[in-house]
């Protein structure tokens, strides 16, 4: 998995490897409970990762995060010629 960076003016927020895993699963439409089961973590931990991701990406709601994740996955697939 590729580490992602999100640049905000002068600071750089780095998405952790676990946050990147959560984001990837979100991009495929998995719900919090499904993500928790897949990663063998609690739903509370998944919720915390989602909140951290929203903050780092400057997003206000989970649906905006899901859209961002899907767009990012599609962009990467197009860049690398994969599905």
CATH number at residue 61: 1.10.10.10
pLDDT (tens digit per residue) in 33-49? 999 999 999 999 999 99
Token pair belonging to 67: 């859209």
Cβ-proximal residues to 1 (8 Å cutoff; 6+ apart), any chain: 17, 20, 21, 24
Which of the residues in the chain have pLDDT under 70? 1-12, 82-83
Structural domains in the chain (count): 1
**pLDDT given at position 9:** 44
Cross-strand bridge partners of residue 13: 6
Structural domain span for residue 52: 5-80
CA dist., res. 9 & res. 32, Å (int)? 31
**Phi and psi angles of residue 72, each rounded to the nearest 5 degrees, phi first:** -65, -40
Strands (E), 1-83: 5-8, 11-14
Query: Which of 62, 74, 64 shows the shortest CA–CA distance to 28?
Result: 74
């Amino acid at each position: 998995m590729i580490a992602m960076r999100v640049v905000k003016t002068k600071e750089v927020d780095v998405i952790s490897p676990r946050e990147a895993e959560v984001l990837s699963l979100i991009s495929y439409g998995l719900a919090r409970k499904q993500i928790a089961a897949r990663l063998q973590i609690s739903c509370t931990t998944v919720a915390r990762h989602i909140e951290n991701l929203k903050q780092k990406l400057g997003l206000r709601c989970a649906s905006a995060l899901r859209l961002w994740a899907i767009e990012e996955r599609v962009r990467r697939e197009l860049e690398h010629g994969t599905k």
